[in-house]
Amino acid sequence: MIIEDKIFLTTFDLFLKYGVKSVSMDDICRKIGISKKTIYTVINCKKDLIEQIIQLQIKRDEEDITTITASSETAVDEMSKIGRHFIKFLKKMKPSLIYDLQKYYPQVWELIEDQHYGFIYRTIKTNLKRGQMEGLYISTFDPDIIAKLYVEKTHCIADEENFPSSKFSRPLLYEQLFMYHMRGISSDKGLKLLATIEI
């Protein structure tokens, strides 16, 4: 593994476990077993490192979701797999990671909102249209509106002020959002299929 990949992967694991603010450059260097001089040949500062890691993670996440979409048998199957993907990630993530990014690195958080949420919106909108064509979702809603509402709800459950992590589990919040969304859009046929699927 080249040093750049090792830095990014190790640092991302540390951020998932401890959040962004509490992980220092010294912690990262110690964990990888390199000097600060070496790490600064790859990145300019901690903010630069965070931004590069988030960009890389967004790319990987979008590749995973694109693979899920291509391999899913139905729209309901696709959404359940996407749901499992996010819940698995949230279970590994310390809740303070989102808070740290929002508070201390707002430009990086803005990057997530602009790039990743845009991708999620397009994915959900396409899924909604697919589900309507398959007869698994009711035909009376507007996919554009529902996709935007879905993205706004994911914003809402990520917000520490709305749902403090001391009281609410992020995986549980997402699971509840998923079921709320799916039960609201599914036809009778879709609900029967949904009942057979676990997330």
pLDDT at 1 over 80: no
Domain-wise residue ranges, the chain: 47-194
Q: What is the pLDDT of residues 148-180, one digit of tens each?
A: 999 999 989 988 889 988 899 999 999 999 999
Q: Mapping DSSP to helix (H, G, I), strand (E, B) and coil, where does residue 45 land?
A: coil
Q: What is the share, in percent, of the chain residues with pLDDT greater than 70? A: 98
pLDDT at 2 over 80: no
Q: Into which CATH architecture does domain 47-194 fall?
A: Orthogonal Bundle (1.10)
User: Rounded mean pLDDT of the chain?
Assistant: 92
Q: 82 vs 20, 62, 129, 160, CA distance in Å?
A: 25, 11, 16, 23
Residue 114 — very low, low, confident or very high, per pLDDT cuts 50/70/90?
A: confident
Q: What is the pLDDT of residues 71-94, one digit of tens each?
A: 999 999 999 999 999 999 989 988
Q: How many CB atoms lie within 10 A of CB 24?
A: 11
Q: Mapping DSSP to helix (H, G, I), strand (E, B) and coil, where does residue 154 land?
A: helix
